[in-house]
Structure 1
């Protein structure tokens, strides 16, 4: 089978208001135990590989197998961290061992009267047969932000 070589680019912007302080939302990203409480795994995925190194230049890895589905692998490098303000990463995704995309993502934490306005902006390049996956990526990111909201609401 010949793979058609092509690229697609997409920008995703998602904003959520969480009824939790910036410190609380920030810690859900910056503290490994807390991040494990909402990122990946759970009822939809069997966790496999995990690494957490929250510092500029540090790398995160999250790999898991969707039940009755493919293996997803996420590898990120932190390029900028301003405590309680922003996190910037570059990251790559693989699906069943095939490199599907490279992205730059910025995460912003802004205080509001009710808690925190969280903004995720991502610029992605999707490769070859995965050129149309930006919709899938946005759905996955929406799912992660919902999981974060559920985690924050649980008070754990």
Structure 2
């Protein structure tokens, strides 16, 4: 099988208002135990590897095997953290050991009258056979924000 060598780009922004103060939403990202409570695919995945180092230059790793499916690996580096304001990461994704994408994600936390406005903006580059996967990344990110909402309520 010949792999088509090309790249595609996908950009998206997701905004959610959570009925929790900025400090609470921030802690869901900044505290390892809290992040473990909502991050990932829940029962749909067998967790294999996890690392959490929330600081500029620190790395997060999340790897797991979907039941009867592929192994997904996420490795992120924190490039900018301003407490209660923003988190910026670069991250790479692998599927069954094949490097599928590199992304830059910015997470912004804004106080609003009823809680926190959270904005996730992402710019991704998808490689080779994964060039059409951009829309799936947005769907996956929406799922994470829904899981965060359930966790916060």
- Give the whole-Å Cα distance in 2 for the aligned partners of 1:123 and 1:23: 26
* Counterparts of residues 57-72 of structure 1 (less than 5 Å): 57-72=57-72
- Give the whole-Å Cα distance in 2 for the aligned partners of 1:145 and 1:45: 18
In structure 2, runs of 5+ residues without a counterpart are none
- Give the whole-Å Cα distance in 2 for the aligned partners of 1:88 and 1:9: 18
Aligned positions, number: 153
Task: Give the match for residue 42 of structure 2.
Answer: 42
Deviations 1:15-47 (A, max 9, x none): 000000000000000000000000114221111
3-state DSSP class of the match of 1:53?
coil
* Counterparts of residues 1-12 of structure 1 (less than 5 Å): 1-12=1-12
- Give the whole-Å Cα distance in 1 for the aligned partners of 2:62 and 2:109: 23
Q: TM-score, normalised by structure 1?
A: 0.97
* Counterparts of residues 83-102 of structure 1 (less than 5 Å): 83-102=83-102
Alpha-carbon offset, residue 149 of structure 1? 0.5
More moved, 41-50 vs 91-100? 41-50
Which 4+ residue blocks in structure 1 deviate beyond 4 angstroms? none
Q: TM-score, normalised by structure 2?
A: 0.98
- Give the whole-Å Cα distance in 1 for the aligned partners of 2:152 and 2:146: 10
- Give the whole-Å Cα distance in 2 for the aligned partners of 1:67 and 1:150: 23
In structure 1, runs of 5+ residues without a counterpart are none
3-state DSSP class of the match of 2:43?
coil
Deviations 1:120-155 (A, max 9, x none): 0000000001001011101110110011011111xx
